[in-house]
Structure 1
Amino acid sequence: MHPTTIAAVAVLSVCFGAPLDARHAETQEYEEPCKQVRNHVAKWMSENNIVPKDSTEFEQAIIPAAPAAPIPPSIAFECLKSVPLYKDTALGQLNFLRPLFEWQSTLDDLREPPEGYLSEGVDLLGGLDNITAKLQEAQGSYKNEFEFLADLYTLTSVRPRDLHFRYTSSLFDLFSFPRPARFVSISTDGISEPKIYLHADVNHAERRYTPSPVLTIDGIPALEFLQKESVKDGGCHDPDARFNRQFPSLANDAALVYTPSEPAALDLRDTTTVECQNGTKFEFSNFAFVRGNFSNITTGVDLYNDFGRGNGTGPRTSEAGNYVLLAKNYTSHFVGYPIPTNRTKNGNVAGFLPNKPEFSDVAVLVVNSFQGILGPDTFVTPPGVYFQEFFNVTTDFIRAAKAANRSKLILDVQGNSGGLVYNIATLYFALFPGSTLPQLSRARSHPQFAWLGAHLWNGTTSPAAGVWPLNNFIRPDHHPWTSFADLYGPHPDTGTPHEYTNPSIFNVTNYTQLFAAYQDPLNANGAQYTIPWTEPPFAPEDILIVSDGQCGSACAMTVSMLTHVHGVRTVALGGRPLLAPMQALGQTKGGPVINFAGMPEVDRGAVPEGLVLPPPADGFKPPLRVPGLEGVRGLGWGVTVSFNVVNMFPWGEEMEEGEVPLQMRYEAANCKLFFTWDMARDITAVWGAAAAAAWQGGQCVPGSTTNEEGTMGGIPGYTEKVADQYKLGDGPGVFGSD
């Protein structure tokens, strides 16, 4: 191990400042842990000359007034655990959540996952019962509020493996726990089993030393440690995608919206010890970053009053990611990338025509996000400007690629966790002009949905407004739904007791009208949404999708349409060191995400004009009104709750035989490649390896293709080799739990 690697530890102190270590405090007097947090933050801000800036409430919802201060994780956990359990309020939260869980499209599938679903199943409603029972035990299973929230967080934000289904409390958002010890998984040639190294060794070649693989992390074999950590990450249903989220990468650094994995949020130690095979040892200081305002906090009771009730100056759930997002230097080029031919201001789309012999006929379109409303001018730029820019950059680049005689296209979607339908339509129709986004969807049928549809739909207004935007969906035959009953059905799922709505497709016309209105709010006939060609610019066999498994939501929908309808091939990068296939789509493969917040906020005076809200019936409470609870905002525990509204299915399926939604299916890529040192520091090495596998007879990871000689072939089927050997284990929602 070269001595320069040691500098990685020192750099952290320079970048983040040195946090106080409560374990070596001179005073022997007991000090409340939350007061320690307050004092540490004040001292750190003073020593680093940080003064919180003045900002509006809206701006604070997007970006904090000051950087997050670092403290030892043990103090953060001690502070959280000093919050006493508020049993009645906790039970109120569970009662509040129970009817909302019915809207999660995969609720029934998660209870009994099909073969090929690589994560554990979870009974979400049963999990609420488990937690309720623990709260009601005479002796009390939970010692404090943190233990209760930890169970609820694991049930809702980890076990479903769905980024669209989330429940997060402000108390859990007060601290973030990124590990400063960063690693990479590197293969010598891209097809041999990789080993784990320190990320600081990426540039070892120019420093003229040979890196040593990591042997252990905190005394545990490195690979075992990282796989166990990855299981705690709820962002991906696929274990290879979860594994990739343990590592930094060029693509994730360039991504517009990237949420790093923080599986240590429940149990991060103050230090991480790393030992390499050559005997070198390193000790990294870990940090908890304080994201809330602790200036008035002394005790755990204070913390609950300010944040647990949801009325404090706490962070929003998206705040940390947006802080990084808005702090980016949007005028600089992506590190490790060549200069793009063109790109959007916020960097979510960039086109490249690499000037190397191996790319003489290859163009590369990097789409690291389908978002379009955040960027360097977020507070002054109308959303439609970003949509138009996505459209312009995409179409202009394809023109440039064809003019340069590039007959092949690599579509790089690494780190793309989704975005907006406007941008899906832009990219899909740019590649395959038309008027239909060919993917079927259907929602879970349940009494609340039926009640809302029967009483709150007047032909133009959607049930519960944003909960189900009916005008965004049409029949698969392209005709509008004539009534809510026409859409709702319900449609029985053969062989199960479950029911779903009739299949729908997205109403592209409605989205394009909204696109035009965004461009010119005063003129619905504003910017036109028309692809400037009528024939596909690239043949399906000349398009290759490159993914690290972290493609989800809008990204997954786009890739699914390209692969299922047109036969476009995929290459999956990285993953566990298995000589086996890997999925290209490892994140959410469901439909739109809807925030629960609007549902309890809609009161009986907010229904569409002319409609009468009847009383609740059939023994359930409609979600428009939860008696005795304030709702999500105000005094609603400072939470954010969201769900996945529809399951997605490939175009052309009849869905008469209990079809499995895409979220629960195993869908391997055509080829798998491990990262090499070159691929970790030069993105063109990634594209070159992928292009070689697709069009030049290059080798894939043995066992990852259907061709015996190891070249790219068809789509491999499910094999037990890809099953996840690591599990979360017992807990609320797991069969057999008390």
Structure 2
Amino acid sequence: MKAFIAVLPLVLRYAEAIPRPQSQSERYSSEVTASVTATSASAPPTSTPSTTAQNPCAAISQIYAQANTSITNIRVPAQLAYDCLNDVPLDSASAVPWLNTLKPYIEWQSTIAYLKNPPKGYLEPAVDVWGGLQAIIDRVSNGKYANEYQLEFDIYRLFQSTHDGHFRYLPSLAGGVFAFGRPISLVSYSVDGTEAPKPYVYSDVLSYFVNGSAVPSPVRSIDGQNAVAYLENWAQYGSLQDPDALYNNVFYELGQASLGASGSGAGTFAGGGRGAYIFPGNTTTLGFENGTSATFSNFARLLVPFRNITNGTVLYNTWINPYATRTSGAGGNVAAATNSSTPTSSTTVVSSSTRTATGTPRPGYPSPVISQRNNYVGGWYLTEAGYEDVAVLGVQSFVGTTDFQSVVYDFLDQASRAGKTKLVIDVSANGGGTILQGYNLFKNLFPAILPYGATRFRHHETFDIIGETVSERIYYYPYNYTNPPNPVWQDFAGGTPFNYRADVDVNYENFDSWRDKDPPNTIYGDQFTSIIRWNLSDPTNTPANGVQVNGYGNRTGLPPTQPFKPENIVILYDGYCASTCAIFSEMMTQQGGIKTISIGGRPNQGPMQTVGGVKGTNNYPWTFIYQLVSDTYELAPDQAGYFNSTSLYDYINPATYEIPYLRAVANSGQVNVRDGIRQGDTSQTPLQFVYEAANCRLYYTAEMTVDVTSMWEKVVDVAWGGDKCVQGSVGASGKAGNAKREEMEARSNERMKKRMLEMTLDKAAALEESLGLFTDVSGIEVQHGMMLP
């Protein structure tokens, strides 16, 4: 016990030993050891230059040269990294040409008109994307930027401010050189499940569960500001479109931790997900309700080697702009940055995974009945008395192929045979994945229902020309995908809309022509295609997506029966659900009639949305758009002269086509190309702008931050046991009598006691180790139905 307490000292206990903030002269040579948890596994390793260097980039280069560790473990003071970024001079000559190369790809973004003037009920501010881009161009032209970092951060923020996780562009300097972080993680919970939640230091919570003493004190202030107000403002740096979902993403959550480096790590406050791109200040000072305070030194992780980087100019010439004139001390033409991307073919990527072993740790989770190796999906049975008839299907991602399908199918079949009659589907942390996986899971649960899944694209010149050309030149459909008459035909099947013979219309019937598919229709001041639905019988879907939906092709008849009654299914959300998860959720709630429960959110008493991530149903990486344009030229070489006189040439112009990729972090250029449209909505409002409150809202409690089973049991209590929700109700839970509610309150109290008794040193150590998680976007398998953290 004592060994663990040494690893997790309470912040409260060390309140008098607060390191003072560094002065300007001290900060470059200071160690990153100010955190009171510096001895913990989550604290950054220390690296200190032997002498104080005048130039911040040179100081980091010295740290890099002296570090006896891999680059992934090198961390420097956050202020030092921030000063280095701001030492990079503005390359105004290349800025405007670069910004102009972004315009063709922005044309594909389906929600431009709605973002500028959001419909009633949308909770985020309006964003004029075109106006914002032009404002940046004007500021560059008028000399309003002091350095390159200010420009690149504005570009990133323009995309991020749309709160569309599919609309993403991350310039190299803004996000490819350093990743900021704090050596402290927070959680938010209610003390009794009824009172408004408050933020706590997670290491304090773990210590409390280990030793049972010193009840954690809530965080009252952060850097002198009200803690909740600070965190709500910080949350706005995230990618989600719902304030409650954004607020949850600030904190450590077990669902995100279960995804390892492909999740949001220990929360955006600690530097996970989008938090890595925001300078958090040199230090962070927390004030607690018990009157104590503590100050922590923030840090930055190195993402590129800093060998021989003597100043910001050399950094720019080495890692940021391969088109820049090389006049720095680095000498010569330095090779293009490894964090850059060049246009290549990008189709739906599938994972090679196994369901026989768990390769990624799942701290805070019990052993699963069955699991996919990367923890994208798994199944559990609840074992406590009163919960024995409950199965839990955890779907933290829709990335995967037949392996994913097999885990889901086998678990639902086994659970049904084992006498489990109730099903909790937990989609916490689910940012989407392979689109047809969402369709397939719905078909597993409702084999007799045809998924609706209405979508549409934004009409613009490039889209229309590609569609007209493809519809004319690919003269029969479907075809043998693995041996097509022309190899580029493959890129125009498997879910792309450009051959009118693919897909079906709103009535699940074939289109008559390209113009039938793309009239276009004028809606909300913009132009769009007709409603498009996936043709699940299309044989080209499977080889392109790696998924054969149950009930079609070689999976006809699977599953034979519906495994659970609709009234015995409930879906649990933490608000992060996005993309393919949003597709699945729409089908389950609108066609299946399934009840929903959301958990967490801001400390208020109002409702909370289910899907807080992007509700767009398909994103195209810019590399894929480039490939589509290139394939169109190859498909119709006799039309090249005409194509060169149109917007198609903007994508393949040999003088400029590489710029948007070489100036950004790999895979960062993405747009949402398909809007999801609700069945029967004559206004065709994209689901991204349709507010959808959960039937029931819950708060996290302390035990739910260390053991996910506590959360699942609470969901069962409110869904079928008569327990109450914070807001809303599921079934008859809002009508239960006092005796029933007293029983549920007793269960909650017992859960807390049980989790404290069950907290072993090994369990606590695994949870603590997960506090060191950071998002590695470069290692994530990019899917056309996935929102990157």
Name the TM tier (shorter chain).
Answer: 0.7 to 0.9
Please identify, of 200-209 and 561-570, the stretch whose mean Cα deviation from structure 2 is larger. Answer: 200-209
1:250 aligns with 2:264: no
Counterpart check, 1:108 vs 2:113 = yes
Q: CA deviation at 1:262?
A: 3.6
Q: Does the alignment pair 1:42 with 2:47?
A: no
* Pairing 1:280-295 to 2, within 5 Å after superposition: 280-295=292-307
CA distance in structure 2 between the aligned counterparts of 1:184 and 1:585, rounded to whole angstroms: 21
Q: What pairs up with 1:75-94 in 2 under 5 angstroms? A: 75-94=80-99
Deviation, 1:454, is 2.4
The equivalences for 1:149-228 within 5 A come to 149-156=152-159, 158-171=160-173, 172-203=175-206, 204-209=208-213, 210-228=215-233
How many Å apart are 1:299 and its aligned residue? Answer: 2.1
Name the counterpart of 1:133: 138
The equivalent residue for 1:349 is 377
Structure 1 574/518 Cα, relative in aligned 2: closer, same or farther at 3 Å? Answer: closer
Task: Name the structure 2 match of 1:534.
Answer: 560
Question: Residue 193 and residue 638 in structure 1: after superposition, are their counterparts in 2 closer, same or farther (change >3 A)?
Answer: closer
How many angstroms does 1:41 deviate by?
Answer: 1.8
Partners of 1:198 and 1:104 lie apart in 2 by 39
1:561-587 deviations in whole A, cap 9, x for unaligned? Answer: 100111101100100011010001000
Counterpart in the other structure of 1:396: 410
**Equivalence for 1:694:** 719
Paired AA for residue 361 in structure 1: D
State how far apart, in whole Å, the 2-side matches of 1:623 and 1:191 are: 56
> After superposition, what is the alpha-carbon deviation per residue over 1:343-371, rounded to whole angstroms, capped at 9, x for unaligned?
11222111001111232221100010001
Q: Which residue of 2 aligns with 1:429?
A: 443
Unaligned runs of 5+ in 2: 15-34, 265-271, 323-334, 342-348, 478-487, 738-789
Task: Output the CA distance in 2 between the equivalents of 1:332 and 1:502.
Answer: 43
Q: Deviations over 1:20-52 (max 9, x none)?
A: 2x7xx754xx533222221112222x2x4x4xx
2:431 maps to 1:417: yes
1:492 counterpart residue number: 522
| CA apart distance, 1:403 | 1.4
Pairwise CA distance, 1:598: 3.9
Is the 1:371–1:419 Cα contact (8 Å) retained in structure 2? yes
| 1:330/1:252 CA distance change after superposition, 3 Å | same
Distance, in Å, in 2 between the alignment partners of 1:152 and 1:9 is: 35
Query: Does 439-448 or 695-704 show the bigger shift?
Result: 695-704
CA distance in structure 1 between the partners assigned to 2:616 and 2:277 by the alignment: 26
User: Is 1:455 aligned to 2:457, yes or no?
Assistant: no
Question: CA contact under 8 A between 1:693 and 1:711: conserved in structure 2?
Answer: no
**Aligned AA (1:338):** P
How many matched pairs? 653
Between the aligned partners of 1:594 and 1:617, the Cα distance in structure 2 is 23
1:664 paired with 2:689, answer yes
**Relative to structure 1, is the Cα distance of residues 509 and 435 closer, same or farther in structure 2, using a 3 angstrom cutoff?**
farther
Q: 1:131 to 1:511 in 2, by over 3 A?
A: farther
The 1:462–1:611 alpha-carbon spacing in structure 2 relative to 1, beyond 3 Å, is: farther
1:578 paired to 2:604: yes
What SS does structure 1 have at the residue aligned with 2:285?
A: strand
424, 434, 439: which one aligns with 2:453: 439
Q: CA–CA distance in 2 between the matches of 1:300 and 1:196?
A: 38
Distance change >3 Å, CA 605–CA 566, structure 1 → 2? closer
* Cα distance per residue 1:321-350 (max 9 Å; x no partner): x9xx99xx9446621111111111222111
Q: Describe the shift of the 1:677–1:279 C-alpha distance in structure 2 as closer, same or farther (beyond 3 A).
A: same
**In the superposition, relative to structure 1, how do residues 440 and 558 fare at CA in structure 2: closer, same or farther (>3 Å)?**
same
Query: Which residue in the other structure is 1:298 paired with?
Result: 310
Q: Which 5+ residue runs of structure 1 have no aligned equivalent?
A: 51-65, 373-386, 521-525, 713-738
Partner amino acid for 2:422?
K
- Matched with 1:312 is 336
Query: What's 1:722 paired with?
Result: none
Deviates more, 1:401-410 or 1:576-585: 401-410
Q: Does the Cα contact within 8 Å between 1:338 and 1:354 map onto a contact in 2?
A: no
Deviation at residue 306 of structure 1 after TM alignment? 2.1
Q: For 1:615 and 1:702, locate their aligned partners in 2 and report how far apart those are by CA, in whole Å.
A: 59
Equivalent of residue 477 in structure 1, options 487, 507, 516: 507
> Where do residues 502-521 of structure 1 align in structure 2 (5 Å cutoff)?
502-510=530-538, 514-515=542-543
Structure-2 residue corresponding to 1:32:
55
Question: One-letter code of the match for 2:587?
Answer: M
Number of the residue aligned with 1:407: 421
Quote how far apart the aligned CAs of 1:479 are.
3.3
- TM-score norm. by structure 1 comes to 0.82
1: CA distance, partners of 2:459 / 2:302:
42
Pairing partner for 2:245 from 238, 241, 246: 241
Change (3 A) 1:154 1:705: farther
Partner of 1:70: 75
Distance 1:340 1:530, change over 3 A: farther
Q: Secondary structure at the match of 1:215?
A: strand
SS in 2 for 1:438: coil
CA 1:469–1:279 in structure 2 vs 1: closer, same or farther (change >3 Å)?
same
Q: Which moved more, 1:295-304 or 1:100-109?
A: 295-304
Q: 1:432 to 1:604 in 2, by over 3 A?
A: closer
**SS in structure 2 at match of 1:314:** coil
- What amino acid is the match of 1:215? R
Provide the C-alpha distance between the structure 2 equivalents of 1:355 and 1:702, rounded to a whole number of angstroms: 28
Cα shift at 1:484: 2.4
Question: 216-225 or 106-115: which moved more?
Answer: 216-225
**SS state at 1:355 partner:** coil
Please state whether the residue corresponding to 1:510 is helix, strand or coil.
Answer: coil
Q: How does 1:319-334 map to 2 (within 5 A)?
A: 330-331=358-359, 334=362
Residues 92 and 517 (structure 1 numbering): CA distance in 2 closer, same or farther, change over 3 Å?
Answer: closer
Query: Is the contact between residue 467 and residue 497 of structure 2 (CA under 8 Å) also seen in structure 1?
Result: no
Residue 634 of structure 1: CA displacement?
Answer: 7.1
- Identity across aligned pairs (percent)? 31
Aligned 1:265-276 pairs, distance under 5 A: 265-276=277-288
CA deviations on 1:240-276 (whole Å, 9 max, x unpaired) are: 0000011011111113631334446343212111121
Counterpart of 1:645 in 2: which secondary structure?
strand
Q: Which amino acid aligns with 1:641?
A: G
The answer to whether the 8 A contact 2:425-2:572 is kept is: yes
- After TM superposition, the score normalised by the length of structure 2 is 0.77
In structure 2, how many angstroms separate the alpha carbons of the residues matched to 1:464 and 1:611?
20
Closer, same or farther in 2 for the Cα pair 1:32/1:411, shift >3 Å?
same
Q: Alpha-carbon deviation of 1:554?
A: 0.5
**C-alpha distance 537-516 of structure 1, shift in aligned 2 (>3 A):** farther
3-state DSSP of counterpart to 2:393: strand
Q: Whole-Å Cα distance in 2 between the matches of residues 344 and 621 of structure 1?
A: 42
Q: Which letter maps to 2:166?
A: H
Greater Cα offset, 31-40 or 242-251: 31-40
CA pair 415-597 structure 1, distance change in 2 beyond 3 A: same
Q: Following the alignment from structure 2 to structure 1, what is the Cα–Cα distance between the partners of residues 543 and 421?
A: 30
CA–CA distance in 2 between the matches of 1:513 and 1:453? 18
When residues 358 and 708 of structure 1 are mapped into structure 2, their CA distance, relative to the original with a 3 A threshold, is closer
Q: 2: CA distance between counterparts of 1:144 and 1:433?
A: 58
Distance 1:305 1:89, change over 3 A: same
Q: For the structure 1 residues 3 and 424, does the alpha-carbon distance in structure 2 shift closer, same or farther, using more than 3 Å as the test?
A: closer
Cα distance in 2 for partners of 1:687, 1:489 equals: 48
Partner amino acid, structure 1, of 2:408? T
Q: Is the 8 A contact 1:429 1:531 kept in 2?
A: no
Change (3 A) 1:463 1:237: farther
**Separation in structure 1 between the aligned mates of residue 636 and residue 254 of structure 2, nearest angstrom:** 52
> Which stretch shifts more, 338-347 or 5-14?
5-14
Secondary structure class of the residue paired with 1:499: strand
